[in-house]
Amino acid sequence: ISGLIMPPKRSKPQDDNGRKYYMKYTEKDLKNALCEYRSETGKSRRAIGRKYGISETTLRKKLSGELPETRGHTATGRRMTDQEEQVLMNWIDECQRRAMPVSRLNVIRSMEDILAKEQDEL
């Protein structure tokens, strides 16, 4: 169809150097926003999101269960909880105690095993 003007493609926000960045919020901010939305039905997700620096889409997906509430991509990019990281660190310490080499690939595989076990328990 000629002459049809398409809207510009939406992309992630960029900083002054043209690098993409994601919303930066803490787990505490997310928990507070979810609690506030659930307790105060008069406020919109968008208003609460602005207050805590979280996108309305993220809040909607977290509230609907489409995304888990406590795990996800946050400002630090963490995939593991503190407890899961401790299990991985204990595994690395045990390997070193036994004089077993710990490669990057082995750490990644161990991390994936830990995350899979956590998912199975849910």
Which residue, 51, 48, 118, is CA-closest to 82? Answer: 118
Q: Is pTM beyond 0.85 here?
A: no
Rounded average pLDDT over 51-65:
89
Q: Check pLDDT > 80 for residue 5.
A: no
Q: Which amino acid is at 68?
A: P
Mean per-residue pLDDT of the chain: 78
Both tokens assigned to 108: 């990644």
Q: Check pLDDT > 60 for residue 107.
A: yes
Give, in order, the Cα–Cα distances in Å from 67 to each of 2, 63, 64. Answer: 40, 8, 8
Q: Residue 102's CB: how many other CB atoms inside 10 A?
A: 14
Three-state DSSP state, 14: strand
Percent of the chain past pLDDT 90, that is, above it, reads: 11
Rounded average pLDDT over 70-77:
54
Both tokens assigned to 80: 């593991």
